Chains A and B, each alone.
Chain A
Amino acid sequence: MAIDNKEVLLEVKNLEVTFNNSRKNKGFRAVKNANFHIYKGETFGLVGESGSGKTTIGRSIMRLNPISDGEIWFNGKRIDGKISNEDKREVIRNIQMIFQDPAASLNERATIDYCVSEGLYNFHLYESEEDREAKVDAALKSVGLLPEHKSRYPHEFSGGQRQRVGIARAMIMEPKFIIADEPISALDVSIRAQVLNLMNKFKEERGLTYMFIAHDLSVVRYFADRIAVIHNGRIVEVAPTDELFKYPLHPYTLSLLQAVPMPDPKIEKAKELVIYDDSIRDFSGEKPILREVSDDHFVFANDRELKEYQEKLNEMKKD
């Protein structure tokens, strides 16, 4: 899926997020020096294991977590740190989030009507009460729910239905950019496709841009245009999906790709697993940073490693 006009929608520069639990120690650096950009209209996948900082990056963009260093630019405007209330409203209107756990992300004591129209109330995005109801009805219909569900409470819905309420709640704000924080990992396998297709439908209809946070590579491969691999708070490789799956360079990416189970038991049994281990790697040379190896393919490397990766890439491309 090539994007012709590569207009950058979101840019993250040297992002660092630190969690302090006391004033004495330095705190835990959840995200270290993260750099990436997201083009308009693409789906950007963010992959990594649990605790690698995927969600933290998503929440920092959403301004839920304060950042300790770096910059976040959205649509040519800086959105991190202290910004005016108007800019804050602008961020909220343009960036929305789909949450991981549909059981936890809806207010159990509010009706679906309130859950979906919460954003409308906050920004007064409706002309009259009828207009608001019409908007809620349309939003519910667009995710395949019925207007009669408005008076129901979240606990009466199935997981897939709840997740679709969460999507309707985000979509009613008519955002440009959506951060989907593992939107399907809490769902039953049988309804994952339903939610993904729904997200794709919205992308085509409204020209949305997604940041898709996941740990399931097979889903990201199906869904994302470009993928960033994150390990221990560090982005180690960024590449278009096909390129990443064909020519994984960083050893961590390699291990991650190998971990995807194969549906063929013969291949699965013969597969030799390489477990990524920081301690056996050669870290000689200066400190590595994220560098471009080939066109739009970035790897976390220093000069020596970059040369190795380039050689490796050329070899792989020959085969």
Chain B
Amino acid sequence: MEKVYELGIDVGSTTVKTVILDDGNIIYNKYERHYSKVRETVAQQLEIIGNLYKGQRFRMAITGSAGLGIANASGIPFVQEVYSAFVAVNKSYPDADVVVELGGEDAKIIFLTGGVEQRMNGSCAGGTGAFIDQMATLLGVTPTELDEMSLRAEKIYPIASRCGVFAKSDIQPLLNQGARKEDISASIFQAVVDQTVSGLAQGRKIAGKVLFLGGPLSFLKGLRKAFTTTLKLDDEHAVFPELAPCFMAYGSALQARDLSEEMTIDEALEKIKNAKTHDSIAVGKPLFETEEEYHEFIKRHSRSDLKYADIKEYEGDAYLGIDAGSTTTKLVLITDEGRLLYQYYGSNKGQPLDVIADKLREIYSIKNKNIIIKGSCVTGYGEDLIKAGLGVDYGLVETVAHYKAAAYFCPDVDFIIDIGGQDIKCFKIKNNAIDSIMLNEACSSGCGSFIQTFAQAMGYDISDFAKLGLFAKAPVDLGSRCTVFMNSSVKQAQKDGASVEDISAGLSSSIIKNAIYKVIRAKSVSELGKNIVVQGGTFLNDAVLRSFEQELGRNVIRPAISGLMGAFGCALFAKEKAKEQSDIISEKELEDFSYTSKNLSCGGCTAHCNLTVIRFNDGRRFVSGNRCEKGAGIKIDTTQENLFEYKYEKILEIENEKPVTKVKAKVGMPLALSFYELMPFFHRIFTDLGFEVVFSERSTRDTYYKGQQTIPSDTVCYPAKLCHGHIESLFEKGVDFIFYPCMSYNIDEGGSDNHYNCPVVAYYPELLRANVPELNDKNFVAPYIDINQKRHTAKALSRALSAYGVTEKELLPILDRAYSDMVRYRRGVESKAKEIIEMARSEGKEIIVLAGRPYHIDPEINHGIHKLIASLGLAVITEDSVSSLCSTPDLDILNQWTYHSRLFRAAQYVTTQPDMQLVQLVSFGCGIDAITTDEVRAILEEKGKLYTQLKIDEINNLGAAKIRIRSLIAAIEEKKEREKRKINV
């Protein structure tokens, strides 16, 4: 009988792997990147094999995330990739317990013992090979270099790996603050491990003999190290097979015998080449129908060019503007008349300080000696560092800088949209001031840099890649979700045979749709106004610009210096505030300019901020990473009170009161969710019943890590996730049982349609009981209670605590006291708020109602946003401190959640107070806030108030929050000035 080989082909998201078996033994394997040319690469690989095994016959099977299309079209059998891995592992490592496999865009875990279970990453592509590639690009190194650096790390920073975009916003500030790249590299790997442990394992322990598969795990030593250390595996239990990258191809080869008919390579090639792709891809309109249309477009936009002047010839005053953005650095030098003397736009290479110092040296060396720099101004993420390091005169909020620049080109501009490397910013302009700001939320950011990363992944330079899209005949419709999701849309389009041109055009249009539908959320074009100015580096891309015009159906203005608008606005600002001579670092000082950076953990308070201390050669130092001014060595004004801290301390204080009688038992209460408001109530009940009440620890990042193994849903809000750690903390404290009631209903404060808790707050105890293995019916008391009804509450509690002989009768008087305690706590908050308001008014300060939910007082949840706001010279109070001061306004929604109905009343109250503003704090993943935020905005805006929203989750980077708050302050000031002018007229 003629010999028949088995061939396994694994078509992954970034690579093609092939394995040939002869009688079950591997005789050939190969690993090749496909750069999205899936079909071509597969064909190539087959040709290579065909040459090696001329005329031989094979049975073959395809596997892998990008293999399905080819398999379906060619009729070669397809095997699900995780199943392939499963088969291969069973064959070669029958004693393995768990398999962890990281691929290009997938992450998978297979539990083999104790109930076979296979898991793939959800709709998020975080924690995968693509994520690591993206991070390497961000650091300006190759993945191999990243790996080498990680081995020299000294410390680990917390980085979110849920999705690349999140991680970026964690890493960028670290880079800007000068953190060591070695440490960041190791932190990136640690983030991948955390993602795998919490996101994939979801409560199941990764233990026993663990097999690690996939490309990244076989090539990256640092990643291996992070996994083995975190999972506490020794060499015997952590297995890294040599064949790891080709393991799934091996698995599919093993199955080929049963699935496939015999064929020669030529026959297989024939099948693949002739395979028809179905035309299921949605197709958009071409960007330009004709070449002429394109030229017309180019001509129109060249009208918004800036005039230039020669830096070598010009003599006189000049103004310097710097935009130290998140990924790029921009510099301009302009003349009195706004002519451009010098411009620079480039990557900050993770070292903005070095890049800017370099460019300044260049300016000094080429400029005419009679140019006097009279003012300088900086904006962007690196503002503070640059200002401190290089003696820049002014700092400006990004939003204001952009408006100034836009107004220069179009004095009656109505709407500005700026798409940068990582952010989309939109401002509506009314009465010559910024009226409302829309920023992209963490999940949809990364727009500009996404195209860039994508271009690189496909093997193109960004500008070439963008140009390809201009004349695409059938741009792919990729939807408008966050960029990480787009990855899989692109994958699908490729599978369906879309060309690189079509994908390039499709990506441009996606970014635009993201901006219009997600960030601006415009219902109609007319809403944006007549005069629209677009800017930001991403709009330098003609395809993106054209997509925008197409989507809006109207022409917009793109200044030729679109990417430099922030810097240009700064230069204009510097001109307005011109001095005799700018304080900026001189040519001579620049010669000796140098600095060192060091990382410290601040001991100022429990937040333990990661500080980066930069010491300049002249002895000055700059501290960043701190939320308050304490770490920067500035003495804090202790007289200033902040309602967030007041509430938090008041709740914590409660624990000190212990029962006077003999202690019946130790009851634990987690410092989480609704307990942040109901602690006075439940503590009183249990203390007076004779129980010692023990609170869980104060939340920190470690609290989260403690419980992350038992979190079953990775998209639930961070406050809920923290509960798991608090339960662990209570066990550590040795409590006899934990009390955590389920409550469909919250406190009825009246004036609303109902008084529910949100589903998560209401029933989280049910989830905890089902997922925390230590919990059982004895040590977890979770009765259903509606605390609005005294008799019922007494009955329910006596039933739940019957083991301790608690009776309904003894509870009734205790409940009276508990209700009073709850009211007293609330009154305390309200009168403290009054004090703070009066104090602020006497000092002429603006007052911010930082409106969220009771658990937002947890420092691990709010990340110190209240401190940040206070440090900007504002007084901070909370929503529950003013919500009883007015009645519910007319609403257009069903007002049925207690916490949320306070927001509406607080917003209504703010509209009656000229010196108050409301800032809404929203936890990522809070579905109910999708309804409340629009309503709160409507209440405020109807009465001419500004609306600001801050979205928070486990990421503790406050950069975006700071921009919003500062923009708010700028807008308030602008408004005040306008009113002053009105009065003067």
Do chains A and B interact in one complex? Answer: no
